[in-house]
Structure 1
Amino acid sequence: MTQKLSIYLFSLTLALVLLAILSLFLGVYQFEYGFMETLKLLILDHSQLSTTDLYVLKDIRIPRIIMAILIGSGLAVSGTSLQGMFKNPLASPDLIGITSGAVLFAAVTIVLGSYIRALIPEFLHYSLLSLMSFIGSILTMSFVYKMSSTNGKTNIAVLLLSGVAITALTGATTGLLTYLSTDEELRNLTFWTLGSLAGSNWTKVAILSIVILISLGALINKGKALNAMMLGEKDAEHLGVNVEKLKKRIVLFTALMVGTSVAFSGTIGFVGLIVPYILRLLFKSNYYMILPLSALCGSILLLVADSLSRLLVAPSELPIGILTAIMGAPVFIAILIRFKKSL
């Protein structure tokens, strides 16, 4: 099985690298040289590229591609980990309130930003929206986790119900702020909630790289533990799995990855639902295979969606959240039909 996993990982990594190279040259902007010549100059001697070509490649497209890879892998692994923990194919980061908390704090920033900026240092003004979104996701995650924990043990059912409750509460508050917003604020809020990677830069890439890579390192090797969890918590404990530690780790690192991703790109739905479902069709519920593969498949999915978002309505850009929703909705319906037939 290890050899088979290695083959799959190598194949998907190769596909991701080729797709990333292709994505560099997809878009409205036309480079001075052809595809192969520009790529060769970029790798060997970028001083021969024009200033504009170099700027588009190094400061716009490469950071954007890296962000798509990081966010895609983070969202997919988050969804896979939560589905393993809940033993439910419909589980996703939205389910425990992480995304809704980030959206609420983003709405607060967009609608009441002028008041907030007057109270904080000027150097934080530029990144206020991202910072507030991240704080919102962490606060809601902390609240939901504390609600579901008693004597150091986490009740999965209470965790789920707390997430539903906090999602309803934050959704209502976000709706109130939307009602109170001006036309410009409403437009900004709407576009942010639809998701986009257009604001990518190297600072965001650096922060995302640290958060996503550390979180992936903490979760990616928990496939065998999640396989044991499928048998039930008591059976998993008998097999040597520290169930409470595993649940805490999944909730914490899922919140970190989703919170940071939403803070920098807005809400991008269904990635954490589509990828695990497709992989589960191929590998059943073997999380030893699904977890590492979901990281690469999530990156590929989001990179494809981002490339399409730049091409479909060129020279404008289609919000990436719309594309992932279009991709994800049929999969969601398929899950429901399959579940209905199993009853």
Structure 2
Amino acid sequence: MTDLDRRAPATGAPVPRTGGAQRPRRRLALAGGLLGLLALLVLAMSWAVTVGPASITVAQVWGSVWHHVCSALAPGAVTCAADPLTTIQDAIVWQGRGARVVAAASVGAGLAVAGTVMQAVVRNPLADPYLLGVSSGASLGAVAVLVVGMTVLLPVAAFVGAVGALVLTLLLAAGRGGGLPPVRTVLAGVAVGQACSALVSFVIFWSATGDSYREILSWLLGSFGGITWPETMLALCGTVVLGGVLASRSRVLDAFAFGDVSASSLGVDVRRERWLLLVVVTLLTAVLVSVCGSIGFVGLVVPHAVRLVLGSRNHRVMPAAALVGALFLLLADTAARTVFEPRELPVGILTAAIGAPVFAVLLRRSRL
């Protein structure tokens, strides 16, 4: 049946559909909104680099960016302007704040995408990236190396712990025939998470001494302090690559909203797609947690806030949630390192303090 084959009930005259004419307008509005969010994120990142004791302007930051990019692509070229920053300022921007700003934006975007996917896969509006015990498993691995003083292995141990928790959860959740029923998966994640949390508490109680308590607490609450460029690039590449895989399955996520039977009738291999999505989203979360620790509420609140504006279609929600999540965590981390200066607040405390009341308001306004 074509658009003009539909007949008015009284006259039998063709009734053209209006949705087709509105669709390009909606796409244009979405593209404009995403470009606006991207521009706002770039401006916020430029501003965040300037925030701190050293006096640095946005113009100097971009001048330094041009200098470094030009020098790397065309060494010795006349068009490469001199670095507008002093040696100390350059070190502050490129070895300190720059890595931290990029990491905060990358982790925020990744957690928001992971939360969006997790809520769609398990059909639970309270789901977040840590639902399958990933955070607790990563915490167990991180605490294990912190108490023995092997800090250099922290990201590796956290990633291994997160993947181990994922494997246990999936083995426990797998039903007959290898399926992953949503309710069973959630319950398995809760069980594994609680078990890992108990082990974390035991290790801290039995082994942590002296300054290791502060290091452990800072990591468990989430922090970007002391982050390096290799860790930043790990978070950025993980978000781009694994987040891109998840974004490519947005139509499948839309099908999951109607239930497994309806999704199967639409041609979706429910079992295979659920396994794929859960594994990829957990690997993404594991990468992010291994870099900065457990940062809550980003993957829970941001997808809900974006859905209130854009609706439930995941191909619209995911890119917007990524940009909003990056902006939110970037601003939260900037506040965490400056509001209580010279002391630095773990960013996880600030995201929880902001996210809890915001989520309460969203809950009141939504129809959950």
TM-score (norm 1): 0.90
State the 1:209 CA deviation: 2.6
Indicate how the Cα distance of structure 1 residues 335 and 12 shifts in structure 2: closer, same or farther if over 3 A, else same: closer
Residues 269-311 of structure 1 deviation map (CA, whole Å, 9 limit, x = unaligned): 1100110110121123222211121111110111111111122
Given candidates 141, 158, 170, the residue that maps to 2:196 is 170
Tell me the amino acid that sits aligned with residue 207 of structure 1. L
What is the aligned partner in structure 2 of residue 268 from structure 1?
A: 295
Matches within 5 A, 1:84-233: 84-111=120-147, 113=148, 125=150, 127-150=152-175, 151-180=177-206, 181-233=208-260
**Any idea what SS the aligned residue of 1:91 has?**
coil
**Any idea what SS the aligned residue of 1:90 has?**
coil
Given candidates 47, 59, 83, the residue that maps to 1:36 is 59
| Conserved 8 A contact 1:99-1:267 | yes
Tell me the amino acid that sits aligned with residue 163 of structure 1. G
What is the aligned partner in structure 2 of residue 120 from structure 1?
A: none
State the 1:257 CA deviation: 1.6
| Conserved 8 A contact 1:275-1:294 | yes
Residues 60-88 of structure 1 deviation map (CA, whole Å, 9 limit, x = unaligned): 11111111111111111011100011112
State the 1:149 CA deviation: 1.8
State the 1:268 CA deviation: 0.6
Tell me the amino acid that sits aligned with residue 196 of structure 2. T
| Conserved 8 A contact 1:27-1:314 | no
- C-alpha separation between the residues in 1 aligned to 2:361 and 2:58? 39
State the 1:184 CA deviation: 2.2
**Any idea what SS the aligned residue of 1:70 has?**
helix
| Conserved 8 A contact 2:50-2:58 | yes
Tell me the amino acid that sits aligned with residue 271 of structure 2. E
State the 1:315 CA deviation: 2.3
Given candidates 90, 98, 109, the residue that maps to 1:62 is 98
Indicate how the Cα distance of structure 1 residues 77 and 37 shifts in structure 2: closer, same or farther if over 3 A, else same: closer
State the 1:41 CA deviation: 4.7
Structure ranking higher on relative contact order (CA contacts 8 Å, 6+ apart): 1
State the 1:224 CA deviation: 2.1
Indicate how the Cα distance of structure 1 residues 28 and 278 shifts in structure 2: closer, same or farther if over 3 A, else same: same
| Conserved 8 A contact 2:107-2:236 | no
**Any idea what SS the aligned residue of 1:96 has?**
coil
Instruction: Please list every run of 5 or more consecutive structure 1 residues that lacks an aligned counterpart in the other structure.
Output: 115-124
Indicate how the Cα distance of structure 1 residues 230 and 179 shifts in structure 2: closer, same or farther if over 3 A, else same: same
State the 1:242 CA deviation: 2.3
**Any idea what SS the aligned residue of 2:83 has?**
helix
| Conserved 8 A contact 1:28-1:315 | no
Question: Superposition RMSD on alpha carbons, in Å?
Answer: 1.9
| Conserved 8 A contact 1:42-1:49 | no
State the 1:338 CA deviation: 5.9
| Conserved 8 A contact 2:305-2:362 | no
What is the aligned partner in structure 2 of residue 119 from structure 1?
A: none
Residues 198-233 of structure 1 deviation map (CA, whole Å, 9 limit, x = unaligned): 122111122223322110110113222212111111
Whether 1:241 aligns to 2:277 is: no
State the 1:42 CA deviation: 4.3
Q: Identity rate of aligned residues, in percent?
A: 30
Residues 152-195 of structure 1 deviation map (CA, whole Å, 9 limit, x = unaligned): 32121111111111111111111111212224222221111111
Whether 1:302 aligns to 2:325 is: no
